[in-house]
Structures are given as C-alpha cells and as structure tokens.
Amino acid sequence: MLNYTPKEMVEREALVINPCKTCQPVGALYAALGVHGCLPHSHGSQGCVAFHRMYLTRHFKDPIQASSSSFTEGASVFGGGSNLKTAVKNIFDLYDPDIVAVHTTCLSETIGDDLNALLIDITPTLSEGKYIVHANTPSYFGSHIHGFFNMVNGFMKYLSVSTGTSNGKLALFPGWLNPGDYRELKRLMTQMNVPFIMLPDTDGTVDTPTTGEYTMYEKGGTTIEEIKSLGDCKSSLGIGLTISAPSVGFLDKKCKVKGDTIPYPIGIDATDAFILKLQEFSAEEVPASVENQRGHLVDMMVDTHQYTYEKKVAIYGDPDFVIGMMALCLELGMIPKYCITGTPSLTFEQEGKSLLEKYGVKEECKVQAATQLNTTTDLFLLHQWIKNDAVDLLIGGTHGKHIARAEDIPLVRAGFDVIDRYCHSYFPVVGYEGAMRMVEKITNALMDYQDSHCEEKDVEMVM
Amino acid sequence: MGKSGEVNVLDERKQFILFKNDGGCSGNGIKCDSDSVSGAVSQRACVYCGARVVLNPITDAYHIVHGPIGCSSYTWDIRGSLSSDSDLYRNSFCTDLRETDVIFGGEKKLIAAIDELATKQEAKLIFVYATCIVGVIGDDVEAVCKNMSKKHGIRVIPVKSPGFSGNKSTGYKMACNAIMQLLLPYRIEQKIEGVNILGDFNLAGEMWIIKNYLDKIGVNVVSTFTGDANYKNMLEAPKATLNIVQCAGSSVYLANRMEEEFSIPFIKVSFFGVEDTSSSLVRIAEALKNEEAKKKAIAFSNEESLKLEGFLDRYRKNLRGKKVAIYVGGGFKAISLIKQFNFMGMKTVVVGTQTGKKDDYEIIEQLASEDAVILDDANPAELETFIKEKGADILVGGVKERPLAYKLGIAFCDHNHERKHALAGFEGVDNFTREINQSINNPMWQYIKENKTLECGKECSL
C-alpha cells in the first residue's frame, strides 16, 4: 500500500518529497532544553511551538515545555515586539524560569523583527538573576541542525565571558544527541579524569525519572554559571563536524578558547579518537575500565562478523549521525551503499568519501547532502535508489519505515526522530557502550530477517 | 472550594476558566474562541494545523506545503486516518522555500513544484497550503493555482492558512472553503437519497464503522469528508439529501456552506458512546423521513446496547467513582466523553478544550460533576494544578498531554490522532472502556505511589 514511489528516477529541483530534515527553530528549542532552568521561547505563530513540542514529545515521550509570542495578523504587520514584551512578562510571572531562550521563526525573520534591539529593551526589566538570550533561526536557511548550533552560540554570545583566570576545564560541544548519549559522554570524561563543561546537556531534562511529582525545570541541564564559565575553559572540543565546528569557532572568536572538532564518537575508531583527545587533555593513562569496555566491543564484533560482512546498508538522518553510523558499519565490514542527509553540509560528502577510501570500498556508494539551494536530497530519492539497487538494511529514524515495509528491508531505528518506538532515548549510540548496542541491534535485525525469510529447511536453532 | 489554582493562573487567563460551583453559571460564562495569550505555554496549534488536519485524510490528493520545510515535516503522516485505496496523502510534499525565494518570491518554485508533479506523477487534485511567510513575501498563491489548473487541466486548490491569521478554528474554515472551491463547479440538481458524513477522519477506521451502521439501517452514504475521501467520490457530495456532522468544531461551517450552495440540510451527530450513537442513528433516519430506517435504527441500537450491557457491568466495578480530567480539541467531543464517563459511573472533574464554543461550554457545565473546573485553551501549568487539586485518576487528551499525565502518575487515554483503537460506535464503547480500564487499573502505577510514600516515610507499607 505504501509502495507508491516510482522506480523510474525523476529530476526534481523544486519539490521536496518526504524530507530528511526539519526547520531551524526545533533545533534551537532542543538546544535550549539542555540548559538548566530554561524556558525555550518561539518568536512566531502559535503553531510553530505546538509542532515543535509535539515533535520532541513524540521522540522523548516526556513533557516538552516552551512558550510562544503567538503572532496575530497585527504582529505580522506591525512587528512582534509588543508580543515578545508581553510574553516575557507573562513567562516570568507564571513559569518563573531562570532564563528564557528566544529563537526566531520564518515569520519573525521575514517581517524583520530586530531581536538584538528588542532584547536591549527587555533585559533591564528583568529581576536580578534572570536572563534572556536569543538566536536567529530562520526556517528558510539550513535545517534543524543550524538552529541547534545557532542557539548554542546564542547562549555563549550573551553569557560566556573570559575573566582571564582559567577554570582548567574542557568545553565540550556534544552536538544533537539523546540524553543517553550525553550521559555516556559525561561518564567517559569522568572516567578519563577530565573536568568539563558540556553545552547543552538534556540528561535529566527530557528523560526525567517518574516519581509522581512534576516540575517544569528538572535537575538536569547546563547551568547559567557553567555557560558563563565556558569563556575560561582551557580548551574546547566539538564533536560532529557539521553541528559543533561553528560553536568551537564561536568560543574561540569570543573568548579566545582554542579548540578542535572531531566526528561523533560512533564506532570504534571515532571513539578511540575521542578518548585520545581526552587523554591529551588530562595527560593520564586510559583506565582499565575503559580499555575493558573497548575489549568487550571488539569481542562482539568478532562474534558477529560473519553476519555483517558485505551487507549493504542505507543510512539517512542528520549529517554527523550518518557519518558516525557509516564509520561503524564499515568497521563491521558492511557496505554503506547510500548515505544521505537533508541538512546542507559542506563537510558531509568529503567525510563520507574519505571513509569509503579508508576502507577501500570497491562498490559504488552514494553519499549525498542537500545544498542550500537544492534540498531535494530526501527519503523519496533514497527510496528510488533502493528500488533500482536494493540494500540489506536501513539505519535511521522512524520515517524510513514506509521504505522498509515497501521493500521488505529490516530497519534499525536510531538518530532523530524515532517516534514509533519507546525507551531508545535512554540508551547511547556513542562510545564503546553505544557501539556495542548498535552491533547488537544491527546483527539482530539481520538475523531476525534471516529467521523469518529463509526456507523452512534452513531454519537454524544455533546461529 | 478553595481556589488554590489561582496561584498558577495568569490574570489574563482567569476569564478562560470557570469553576462550576462558584456561581460561574450566573455570570457571563467562560471566555473562549479568542487568541492565545503571548507567553502562555498553550497546547493549541495554528491556522495551518487546523486546515491540514481537516484536508489531510483526502487520500488521493497531493498536499503541497508552500513554505519552509518545517510545516511539512511536522505534519507528515502523523494522523492515523486510514485509507481503503490510495496512500498518496501519507507522503510529504513541500516547496521548502529558501533564503533566495524569500528575497525574490516563491511563486517560481511553486510553479516548478506543481509542474514536477503534474507532468511526472499524474496528479488530479493538488492542495497548496500557503503558510506564514507566503503572503508576507508577496506570493499570489491563488493566481498560481488558477493558472496551473488551466495549464495542466487538473484541480489545484489554494488553502489560505498562514499560521498567524487566526487560530486552529480559522484553519478548519479555510479547509472547508478549499473543499467548497473544489465542489462548486459540480452543482447538481438531480439528488440521490443519501447522506454525506462530515467531520469524521477515519481515525483507526471509525468512518468504516459509521458507514457500516448506516448500511445496516438502509441509509445510503454518498460521500465522506474527509475520512477515506477521494477526489472522485467527493464530487458526488452535492447530490446528497442530508449532511451529518460528527466533529462539529471543524465541519459545521462546511455543512452551512453546503446548505447555502447545494440546499443540503444538516444535523449534528456523535458516534461516541452508546447513548449518542443510538440517538444519532435514529435522528438520521428521522431527518431523512425514512420510517423503515428508523425502525431498523431502533432495533439495531437496542440489540447492540444489550450486547454491551454485560460488558459494561463487568468494568463498572473497576471504574465506579474514579475521577476524570478531559482535555481535547473540540467542545462536542468533550460533551460525548463526559456522557460516556457518566455512563461508566466515573466523575468528570476537569474539562478543557482548545476550540470549544460558548454553547458547548454551557452543555459541558450541565453535564460535568458539580465541583468541576472548565478551561478554555488551557496550558500545562493549569492542567497540572487542576488535575492535582481535583485528584483526577485519568487524563483523556492528545500527544502533548500524555507525558504530563504519566509524570503526575495518573492514567491516560489518547482520544486524538494517536488513538490506538476505534473509539466510535458500539465497538468504540468496548474499545474505549477497555483502554480506560487497562490504563487506570495497571499495576505499575503502584510503583509511583510507593515512591511517594517512601519519601514521606509515613504510610510506607514495605
């Protein structure tokens, strides 16, 4: 029934069908949820924030709170300044956050609201110890990934300062991950004895323990004091070339904190690179517990290698996530036949090609990102490719399930957004821990497929 | 009743809240049908969302969102409306306007997008949703649609739905106007006896349940709006002799316009709960002046009600006296739900809607329990306050309310797009009662309650 995509390739430039991205504001909203005591605020129509909250609620299965300037006809003609002022007053009266993080929308950007000027007016009206910051996140540029790093930079723009005294910490920009990933990154940094400030951090804000009590501002999130102190960090590390390099650059420019960016630590090599960066910082030995974990991962790869070798996989989603999964799949001997992202990324295709070269992949593989002008790199295109030359496995978010069903290909859900399964956001894909989880998921998907599709005489008890 | 809730309510929001035993009835009633307050964490969506949810179930239409990608990706196949044929509507089409389009206008891209569809995909019907910035950047979507209709010999219908141009109800209207624009050229004098079903979206196959009932009592269904609707079948609608409106919030406007243009009278119906389902079937037969159908409707309803009696008695013991909070989109649905809960022996203590009208709220006030609180366009802080204050055991709502209920440690039932089973008709009573029971009486809630008592250290039974 859902097999509507025609096999015959069609040239498209204007029409995006089944997008592999969404708009900037939701990225800004998610980044703001990773700050303690923060209420994200959408400066636009009421619907934007309703959609964003729904999108994030469906992924995290947790309450997601954010407010809106609730634009009306009047605001779209005369500007949304008075809406924002009313909104800020109402927000502090009723919800009493420590900080409000405003992001713009296509509407407020198009009518030309000057948020810098508005915040200069509003800031003096706030009570002591309360903050308001903003980021420009026009929906017609980039994708949700741009919205995410624009908001991260927005926090730093307003808050981070260099006092001249180093705090001796590492500034870590982790990119857009699940709370389970943020927890794993923090665990690894703690194990490696690296003092750190991580922005943002949704561990404990979108996966709160259920106790029967509900508070709007949960225990987790990067604190305002920590964001201020980012300017005094010894150095910075961004993970994710597309999503975190802009923040590494911003902190360097504003506070002269030097830094480096590496790919998401997904798979064994990228996690090694992350651990080595941490070791460089702490100048200490890698503890046995981390070495052991790596050993467990290698053990699993050895045990499963015959099931994954030369299996073809299509990976779709956010650029850094796709590159990470591509690396992991190559380590398992798989062929990353199609790798796409709808996010315009300057580094994506180069990163992907380097990985293919590194593993000497002979098979022709497609690695494609949307550009700022032509954004038709979407799941419709991926489906057409698959129809013309099939793969054994799909890795990505929920929206690939139509392809999975139409083509009868197993789908391993990972990345954003996963809205048709539960529990996933509590577990990592990063680090050795995350790689172990992915090895299990990938192998199980392939083996389950074999069990349900092989001829009856071939059903094996021991595999 | 102590109005401790006031602490958590914005001054501007107070007139949107009504305390039933507080003399609210004698005053001017509740304020509703207004814009959301800036800064409030409203559960409400926008004009585009309203228009999209009404039109989206049309199965063989291309729904092109003209604007940046977000509005398209957030509404991609999120509504569980089922189709008996085409699956086109479950795809997402968007012009994904970029910075250059914002500067130079997006018409060119829209034209190209429609060309790409019309020439390569054999489109017959295209809806073009104009979102927030389209008017602001000066695109004349109506003109483009007109020209493209001509050029390709297909129907290209504009949907005027910039998010800021009102609230979700405005969007319903815009969707209804789009439907009317589609139908107007098909004004037909020759009638066939039968009904159009308006305001059912075939969530979990509910349209099929209703059609099946009408078939059983010998009433012909001409066309449906918009659950399981398709291009060809919609064009039959002007021939019908009666419109029945299930979701009044979204579709009374369409019924009114069809009455004006095609002289089709309408009645409001509800297929939620035994009482409403039975009376709706009888009223449809009466409106058609079809005595035979009326007899059949009464017999069929009695038969089905009887089948359910034993079933409901089994569950009533589990449910009697439990307290319910309701937060749904339209007023009519809230009314049906209160009736159903009264039938199960449960008390409705909090009722809120996103788009309820004044007369809905008057009925709600009469039906809800005597100390109920009634809210228009409630925000999570208010919901939380009143759920706790009134001691609700279960919340009935939509996607954004589910996790709030769970965090508060109370049961939940989705009566919105994410409903798991059909909730309409007699089958729906069965499903709904089971769903309420399986959530409210699930043993895992004890772990949340135990946690509480462990913390306070007094009533700990361990």
- What's the CATH code, domain A170-208+216-282? 3.40.50.1980
Which residues in chain B are closer than 8 Å to A62, comparing Cβ atoms? 403, 407
The amino acid at A352: G
- Contact at 8 Å (CB) between B442 and B394? no
Q: What is the pLDDT of residue B6?
A: 44
User: 3-class DSSP state for residue B75?
Assistant: coil
Edge-to-edge strand ranges of the sheet holding B155-160? A16-17, B93-94, B62-66, B125-130, B155-160
CB B380 to CB A45 under 8 A?
no
Inter-chain Cβ pairs, chain A and chain B, closer than 8 A? 254
- The residue whose two tokens read 């503890």 is A287
Q: How far is B112 from chain A (nearest CA, A)?
A: 6
φ, ψ of residue B268 in degrees (nearest 5): -85, 135
User: 3-class DSSP state for residue A225?
Assistant: helix
Query: What string of H, E and C letters represents the secondary structure of A113-135?
Result: CCHHHHHHHHHHHCCCCCEEEEE
- The residue whose two tokens read 């405003």 is A102
φ, ψ of residue B362 in degrees (nearest 5): -65, -40
The structure tokens listed for A344 are 């315009």
Residue (of B336, B326, B341) closest to B433 by Cα position: B341
- The residue whose two tokens read 């980012």 is A230
Instruction: For residue B279, give every residue at least 6 positions away whose Cβ sits within 8 Å of its Cβ, in sequence order, or none.
Output: none
Q: How far is B390 from chain A (nearest CA, A)?
A: 15
- What's the CATH code, domain B4-31+320-419? 3.40.50.1980
CATH superfamily of B47-184: Nitrogenase molybdenum iron protein domain (3.40.50.1980)
Q: Into which CATH architecture does domain A24-159 fall? A: 3-Layer(aba) Sandwich (3.40)
The amino acid at B195: V
Report the distance separating Cα B50 and Cα B175, nearest Å.
Answer: 8
Q: What is the pLDDT of residue B460?
A: 42
CB A15 to CB B380 under 8 A?
no
**Residue stretches of chain B with pLDDT short of 70:** 1-8, 21-30, 32-35, 43, 450-462
Which residues in chain A are closer than 8 Å to B137, comparing Cβ atoms? 110
CA A219 to each of CA A39, A101, B53, B448: distance values in angstroms, whole numbers, following the listed order: 14, 18, 36, 19
Q: Does B64 touch chain A (CB under 8 A)?
A: yes
Report the distance separating Cα B196 and Cα B287, nearest Å.
Answer: 13
Q: What is the pLDDT of residue B462?
A: 38
Q: How far is B229 from chain A (nearest CA, A)?
A: 16
Proportion of chain A above pLDDT 70, given as a percent? 99
Report the distance separating Cα B198 and Cα B203, nearest Å.
Answer: 14
Is A3 a residue whose pLDDT tops 70? no
- Contact at 8 Å (CB) between A228 and A165? no
Report the distance separating Cα A322 and Cα A303, nearest Å.
Answer: 25
Chain A residue whose CA is closest to B9? A94
| Partners of residue B128 on adjacent β-strands | B64, B158
pLDDT tens string B178-200: 999 999 999 887 899 999 999 99
Which residues in chain A are closer than 8 Å to B36, comparing Cβ atoms? 46, 68, 70
Q: Does B46 touch chain A (CB under 8 A)?
A: yes
Burial bucket for residue B220 (CB in 10 Å: 0-12, 13-18, 19+): middle
Average pLDDT (A414-437) is 97
- Per the model's pLDDT, the better-predicted residue between B454 and A254 turns out to be A254
Q: What is the pLDDT of residue B452?
A: 53
pTM for this one?
0.94
Report the distance separating Cα B372 and Cα B213, nearest Å.
Answer: 35
- Contact at 8 Å (CB) between B69 and B96? yes
Report the distance separating Cα A419 and Cα B78, nearest Å.
Answer: 10
| Domain boundaries, given as residue ranges, for chain A | 24-159, 170-208+216-282, 299-455
Q: How far is A423 from chain B (nearest CA, A)?
A: 13
CB A110 to CB B96 under 8 A?
no
Chain A residue whose CA is closest to B106? A14
Burial bucket for residue B446 (CB in 10 Å: 0-12, 13-18, 19+): exposed
Edge-to-edge strand ranges of the sheet holding A235-239? A196-198, A170-173, A235-239, A259-262
Dihedral sign for Cα atoms in the order B448, B454, B456, B459: positive
| Domain boundaries, given as residue ranges, for chain B | 4-31+320-419, 47-184, 195-302
What is the residue-wise DSSP string for A388-433? Answer: HS--SEEEE-GGGHHHHHHHT--EEE-SS---SSSSGGGS-SSHHH
Instruction: For residue B111, give every residue at least 6 positions away whose Cβ sits within 8 Å of its Cβ, in sequence order, or none.
Output: B144, B147, B148
Burial bucket for residue A423 (CB in 10 Å: 0-12, 13-18, 19+): exposed
CB A26 to CB B70 under 8 A?
yes
Q: What is the pLDDT of residue B420?
A: 76
The structure tokens listed for B389 are 């204050």
- The residue whose two tokens read 């990934």 is A145
Q: Do domains B47-184 and B195-302 have the same CATH topology?
A: yes
Instruction: For residue B156, give every residue at least 6 positions away whose Cβ sits within 8 Å of its Cβ, in sequence order, or none.
Output: B114, B126, B128, B144, B145, B146, B148, B149
| Partners of residue B156 on adjacent β-strands | B126
The structure tokens listed for B141 are 């979507």
A38, A86, A214, A380: best to mutate for the B interface, most B CBs within 10 A: A214
- Per the model's pLDDT, the better-predicted residue between B249 and A270 turns out to be A270
- What's the CATH code, domain A299-455? 3.40.50.1980
Give the DSSP H or E segment for A272: helix A268-282
- Contact at 8 Å (CB) between B194 and B244? no
Give the DSSP H or E segment for B197: strand B195-200
Q: Which of A280-294, A385-399, B302-316 has the lowest mean pLDDT?
A: B302-316
* Parallel/antiparallel/unpaired status of strands A99-104 and A38-43: parallel
Chain B residue whose CA is closest to A54? B400
Chain B residue whose CA is closest to A39? B41
Q: How far is B134 from chain A (nearest CA, A)?
A: 9
pLDDT tens string A157-184: 999 999 999 999 999 999 999 999 999 9
CATH superfamily of B195-302: Nitrogenase molybdenum iron protein domain (3.40.50.1980)
Q: What is the pLDDT of residue B8?
A: 64
Q: DSSP strand E in B67-141: where?
A: 93-94, 125-130
Dihedral sign for Cα atoms in the order B232, B233, B239, B244: negative
* Parallel/antiparallel/unpaired status of strands A131-135 and A67-68: unpaired
Residue (of A108, A43, A21) closest to B72 by Cα position: A21
- Contact at 8 Å (CB) between B281 and B256? no
CB A138 to CB B99 under 8 A?
yes
Q: Do domains A24-159 and A299-455 have the same CATH topology?
A: yes
Report the distance separating Cα B178 and Cα B232, nearest Å.
Answer: 16
Residue (of A318, A302, A243) closest to A268 by Cα position: A302
Q: How far is A260 from chain B (nearest CA, A)?
A: 30
